[in-house]
Amino acid sequence: MFEMMRNAWMGWTEYTAAGKLVCLLFAAVLLLWLKPGKTTHKTLAIYAGITSVLCVFPVTASLLMLYQTKFYDYIWVWNLVPVTALIALAAVSLFSVSTREEGTKGAWKKPVLAVLLFAAVVMLAGRFPVSNEKVNDIHEEYELAERILQDVPKDGSMKLWAPAEIVTCARMLPGDIRLLYGRDMWDKSLDAYSYDVYDEEVEKCYRWMENVAETGNLNAVSADHILSGFVCVEEALGRGVNIIVLPDTLKPATLKQLESLLGPNYDETEGYYRWNLLEQ
Amino acid sequence: MIWLLCLVTLPVLWMLGRGLWLLMEPKAPDKLNTFPDSIMTGLIFVIGLTEVVHLFMVLMHASLTNGAMLFLIGIAAGLLLSFLILVIGRKNLRRPSLKFPKLGAASWVVLVVFVLLVLGQAAFVLFSGRVYWDRDLTVETVNTFLQDNGAHMTDPLTGAAYELGMPMRVKILCLPTLYAVLGSLCHLSAVQVVLTFAPLMVIFASYCAFAALGRTLFEDSFLKRIGFLACCAFLLWMGSYLYGMEGFGLLYCGWRGTSIRALVLFPYALSLILRKKWLPLFLCFLAEACIVWTLYGMGLCFLASVGMAVTFVIVGYLNVNEGTPENGRNAGKGAK
């Protein structure tokens, strides 16, 4: 429970550090509470105010996180609060006040200024189009995998071992390319979708692949031991891998040693070396 | 093909929902029952039907082909039922006015702004190529369903057979089956259905849900309703900076169950609560349980209903305590 409260508090600080739309929400609640209006408006405002407070305080936020199940992070408790709808409701209520002098000359100026001011406030509180999250790019990631693997048979006969940026999209391509490991090797949130786990040998293969992509060396240093390239490659081959993709940043000595293991027939494409062992 | 699927989906959803809404609300529809209600009811029907198909595939080990066939039969049966209800219940239907309502200059301006904002969002989804597929494996799952011609037969991330299996509470969620069925029927790839078609549909459905809520809040003024929608659209643009926010879900990961819940089911549930439509609200609870992981079927829509019920009591108490006869009458209306 204490851990959950800590996560809730960290989640709240991250939520408010990224942008200030939640401040607009509280301002909207205040406006709708104080301004005379319909019962439905006040009901929604009171509901949003109460649920916002529940989402902020760690104890109540933890209970909400327990309710929504541990599968979801803190940020999802804010789905209980109608943030967008309430701010929009308050904005429209405010604009309707500014149009009370309708029919008089120049009556349009006040509402237009109100709208522009509202837009400026929202743009300062929010952020677009830059997201704080690193979003994926179909044109870069998916299409790269598509190009690298375009002539590889996708009938389930091929098993691929490649750097993370290619493994990410390999299973999204039409067809069936098997993988030595999937995205859940580094995206641990995906572990919730399956009870299966990778054994240590496969994890070593992943660490070696990412290390060779970075350093270009055949042997990788990991924690307190050395990952031998030969051992990892033999392990992958033993598990049925027949397509191996490596970045072309390999050192010439490394490439020569891999040729001795995998054969000299490989393709060089899009900045990668590709061995197709079924064709050899 | 995606455009054709979009063009077919909208009238099918409307037709499904129109009759089913009349079945749930058989008394003469009041002016708050509109096009958004029909679309939303149709969408909830489709989610329910997909859940049946999904459970059929998972528990009976049926193929995707058979599941798609069952889905089509279900849609056809729903359309037929809806048509029959409309024919039988036509006396209770409010005839739609064919005259275009006269809008003021301000309404036109706001309407144009709203349409531009929404078209911008649709264009962003279609052309920017920016998506957020971290923490989610819908595309791989749908692709695997299409390849295996079945549901949850192999690990979507590796293609290998499961050794220990997967949690049942994830296994029963039906969205991958919906996307796989649509992909199978329309010969679309997983990427096309999940990353393009689904987000476009979610954009449309979310504004239907917000329109239903807007109509509830501002039943007396078209300008206020369209202003509400325009503000929502603008806020969704500006509120897309963090994973988990509504705008982020709309623009970067619209296919996910959490996005559909936040953008479609939740605003619609709020409008149903404010209008005291309990049966459609209950269907929202069920729809949410079919698409996101919930606590034994109780999700955020259910919790929101409980919260709103408490709020009605508070509002009623506050109105009574304010003491004027008019407020006393208002308390009666608001607290029920």
Q: Is the pLDDT of residue A96 over 50?
A: yes
Average pLDDT over residues A6-22: 84
Q: What percent of chain B has pLDDT over 90?
A: 65
Average pLDDT over residues A137-162: 87
Interacting residues of B248 by C-beta distance below 8 A, sequence separation 6+: A131, A133, B132, B239, B240, B241, B242
Q: Give me the pLDDT at residue B330, please.
A: 42
Q: How far apart are the C-alpha atoms of A73 and A69, rounded to whole Å?
A: 9
Q: How far apart are the C-alpha atoms of B260 and A212, rounded to whole Å?
A: 41
A20 in B contact zone (CB under 8 Å): no
Contacts of B163 in chain A (CB under 8 A): 195-196
Q: How far apart are the C-alpha atoms of B79 and B67, rounded to whole Å?
A: 18
> In chain B, what is the greatest distance between 2 CA atoms, to the nearest angstrom?
71
Q: Is the pLDDT of residue B97 over 70?
A: no
Which has the minimum average pLDDT: A130-144, A201-215, B191-205? Answer: A130-144
Interacting residues of B298 by C-beta distance below 8 A, sequence separation 6+: A67, B285, B289
Q: How far apart are the C-alpha atoms of A87 and A21, rounded to whole Å?
A: 9
A136 close to B252: Cβ distance less than 8 angstroms: no
List b or e across A253-277, with b for residues whose CB sees 16 or more CB atoms inside 10 angstroms.
ebbebbeeebeeebeeeeebbbbbb
Q: Is the pLDDT of residue B96 over 60?
A: no
Q: Give me the pLDDT at residue B306, please.
A: 93
Type and span of the H or E element at A156: strand A155-161
* Pairing state between β A155-161 and A243-247: parallel
Q: Give me the pLDDT at residue B169, please.
A: 86
Q: How far apart are the C-alpha atoms of B216 and B220, rounded to whole Å?
A: 9
Q: Give me the pLDDT at residue A178, please.
A: 93
Contacts of B315 in chain A (CB under 8 A): 39, 42-43, 46
Identify the residue whose tokens are 């054969």.
A263
Q: Is the pLDDT of residue A222 over 80?
A: no
Q: Give me the pLDDT at residue B335, please.
A: 38
CB within 8 Å of chain B, chain A residues 52-111:
67-69, 71-73, 75-76, 78-80, 82-85, 87-89, 91-92, 95-96, 108, 111
Work out the angle between the directed axes of helices A39-56 and B325-335 (0-180°, nearest 10): 60
Gap from A48 CA to chain B (nearest CA, Å) = 9
Q: Is the ipTM of this complex over 0.85?
A: yes
List b or e across A204-220, with b for residues whose CB sees 16 or more CB atoms inside 10 angstroms.
bbbbbbbbbbeebebbb
Average pLDDT over residues B177-190: 94
Cis peptide bond prior to B280, omega within 30° of 0: no
List b or e across B146-172, with b for residues whose CB sees 16 or more CB atoms inside 10 angstroms.
bbbbbbbbbbbbbbbeeeeebeeeeeb
Q: Look at A43 and B218 and tell me if their CB atoms are within 8 Å.
A: no
Q: Is the pLDDT of residue A180 over 90?
A: yes
Q: Give me the pLDDT at residue A18, please.
A: 79
Average pLDDT over residues B258-281: 94
Interacting residues of B116 by C-beta distance below 8 A, sequence separation 6+: none
The band of B333, judged by pLDDT with boundaries at 50, 70 and 90, is very low
pLDDT tens digits along B78-93? 999 999 988 887 665 5
pLDDT tens digits along A223-236? 667 778 888 999 99
Q: Give me the pLDDT at residue B30, please.
A: 54
pLDDT tens digits along A114-135? 888 999 999 888 887 666 567 8
Q: Give me the pLDDT at residue A110, please.
A: 80
Q: How far apart are the C-alpha atoms of A75 and A21, rounded to whole Å?
A: 14
Average pLDDT over residues A96-101: 65
Q: Give me the pLDDT at residue A100, please.
A: 57
The band of A253, judged by pLDDT with boundaries at 50, 70 and 90, is confident
Residue with the larger pLDDT of the pair B180 and B93: B180
Average pLDDT over residues A165-190: 91
Q: How far apart are the C-alpha atoms of B8 and B19, rounded to whole Å?
A: 18
Closest partner residue to B312 among A43, A79, A85, by Cβ?
A: A43
A113 close to A50: Cβ distance less than 8 angstroms: no
Gap from A167 CA to chain B (nearest CA, Å) = 9
Q: Is the pLDDT of residue B195 over 50?
A: yes
Q: Give me the pLDDT at residue B295, please.
A: 82
CB within 8 Å of chain A, chain B residues 287-306:
293-295, 298-300, 303-304
A141 close to A170: Cβ distance less than 8 angstroms: no
pTM: 0.90
Q: Give me the pLDDT at residue A264, please.
A: 84
Residue with the larger pLDDT of the pair B34 and A269: A269
* Best residue in B136, B170, B187, B241 for a mutation probing chain A (most A CBs within 10 Å): B241
Nearest CA in chain A to B142: A172
Which has the minimum average pLDDT: A30-34, B51-55, B90-94, B211-215? Answer: B90-94
Q: How far apart are the C-alpha atoms of A14 and B242, rounded to whole Å?
A: 9
Identify the residue whose tokens are 């010439």.
A252
Backbone angles phi, psi at A243, to 5 degrees: -130, 120
Q: Look at B314 and A139 and tell me if their CB atoms are within 8 Å.
A: no
> What's chain B's average pLDDT?
87
Q: Is the pLDDT of residue A214 over 60?
A: yes
Q: Give me the pLDDT at residue B329, please.
A: 42
Residue with the larger pLDDT of the pair B253 and A100: B253
* Pairing state between β B130-131 and A176-179: unpaired
